[in-house]
């Protein structure tokens, strides 16, 4: 596609931010094509080491990080912070924005042909990189993700609702297909990795126990569990169908404060979901009320339909000795 043709268009945003989004979209479109050709020329799922947080890196993690960093150099982005890098870097002294990015989220699923994605958050740039990123999460100007799946879509909010773009494979451009995307209020789906049940804190166990009990339990209805193990895919499903996603803290070493990164995953997803009328917490408190203290800070994450997220938080308010059976007796959570 010629450089004078925008890859991203369809909404009224400042020109400098439009340039940033166009460059993000261009790289996203290129990655979508590369992923579709995975295995033909390159082993995108090949292991190449570990990142700053100790997670294994795949070849595509590094390819994506290099591509976004190169594309955003000379744009409106002054500071660039990536999940794949130890420190934030300055891309240009005059940019108005600071971009935090998980260049390739869900890379453990590359070889499974499961939807993976890119997650990003844009902040106003401060005088230094630390000041640009280590700040209240609610100061995000824009946040969203690109999902590489059967459709390649870009979902973003600039603080005035959620926009959905779809990549047209014929034109290599993202086309706006829906505005005002809302998280459905009603759903019987929840997503959690049930294999970690024995490690969860009691409130999470009690919440899931009541869901598993189904029509015979205190909730009085049956629920379906989903678990894709790809955050962008989970988010995309919740925006389409509602429900709740839970990645709680647990008792395993390294999981005591959660596992997802606040800057690169928790904050932008929380921003997007709340713009769509949903809720996002660390299990108890809103993610957007938190302050980002380190670049690779971990957090638990619960998000989805607002009532369901609030219900999870309510389980944390119960006395520790109180069991889910009392919910049935009191009828507190039957609706």
Place of tokens 């824009």: 142
* d(C-alpha 126, C-alpha 53), whole Å: 25
Would you state the torsion angle of the CA atoms of residues 125, 288, 163, 78, taken in this order, to the nearest 10 degrees? 10
Selected catalytic residue, list 16, 30, 55, 284: 55
Is 322 annotated in the active site?
no
Selected catalytic residue, list 104, 163, 246, 272: 104
Is 17 annotated in the active site?
no
Is 262 annotated in the active site?
no
Selected catalytic residue, list 24, 65, 91, 102: 102
Is 139 annotated in the active site?
no
HEC profile of 15-60: HHHHHHHHHHHHHHHHHHHHHHCCCCCCCCCCEEEECCCCCEEEHH
H/E run at residue 178: strand 173-178
DSSP letter string, 78-147: EEEEETTSSS-EES-TT-SEEEEEEEEETGGGGGGT--EEEEEEEEE--SSHHHHHSSBGGG-SEEEEEE
Is 102 annotated in the active site?
yes
H/E run at residue 299: strand 298-299
Q: How far is CA 194 from CA 64, 115, 120, 197, 247, in A?
A: 31, 21, 28, 5, 10
* d(C-alpha 277, C-alpha 280), whole Å: 10
Selected catalytic residue, list 83, 189, 210, 234: 83
Is 289 annotated in the active site?
no
Selected catalytic residue, list 22, 65, 84, 189: 84
Selected catalytic residue, list 22, 65, 105, 250: 105
Is 84 annotated in the active site?
yes
Is 61 annotated in the active site?
yes
Selected catalytic residue, list 61, 65, 210, 282: 61
Selected catalytic residue, list 210, 234, 250, 265: 265
Residues labelled catalytic: 55, 61, 83-84, 102, 104-105, 265
């Amino acid at each position: 596609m010629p450089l004078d043709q925008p890859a991203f268009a369809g909404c009224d945003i400042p020109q400098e931010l439009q340039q940033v989004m166009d460059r993000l979209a261009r790289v996203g479109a290129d990655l979508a094509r590369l992923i579709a050709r995975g295995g033909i020329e390159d082993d995108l799922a090949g292991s190449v080491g570990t990142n700053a947080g100790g997670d294994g890196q795949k070849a595509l993690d590094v390819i994506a990080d290099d591509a976004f960093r190169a594309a955003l150099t000379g744009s409106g982005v002054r500071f660039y912070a990536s999940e794949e890098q130890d420190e934030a870097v300055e891309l240009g002294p005059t940019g108005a924005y600071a971009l935090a990015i998980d260049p390739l989220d869900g890379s453990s699923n590359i070889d499974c042909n499961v939807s993976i994605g890119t997650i990003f958050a844009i902040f106003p740039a401060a005088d230094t990189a630390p000041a640009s990123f280590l700040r209240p999460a609610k100061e995000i100007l824009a946040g969203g993700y690109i999902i590489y799946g059967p459709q390649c879509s870009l979902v973003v909010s600039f603080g005035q609702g959620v926009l959905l773009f779809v990549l047209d494979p014929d034109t290599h451009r993202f086309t706006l297909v829906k505005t005002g995307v809302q998280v459905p209020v009603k759903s019987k789906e929840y997503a959690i990795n049930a294999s970690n049940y024995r490690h969860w804190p009691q409130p999470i166990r009690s919440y899931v126990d009541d869901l598993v009990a189904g029509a015979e339990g205190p909730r009085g209805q049956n629920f379906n569990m989903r678990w894709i193990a790809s955050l962008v895919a989970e988010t995309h499903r919740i925006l389409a169908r509602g429900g709740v996603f839970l990645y709680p803290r647990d008792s395993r070493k390294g999981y005591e404060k959660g596992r997802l990164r606040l800057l690169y995953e928790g904050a932008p997803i929380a921003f997007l979901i709340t713009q769509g009328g949903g809720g996002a917490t660390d299990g108890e408190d809103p993610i957007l009320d938190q302050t980002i203290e380190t670049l690779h800070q971990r957090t638990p994450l619960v998000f989805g339909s607002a009532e369901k997220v609030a219900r999870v938080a309510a389980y944390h308010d119960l006395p520790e000795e109180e069991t889910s059976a009392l919910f049935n007796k009191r009828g507190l959570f039957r609706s």
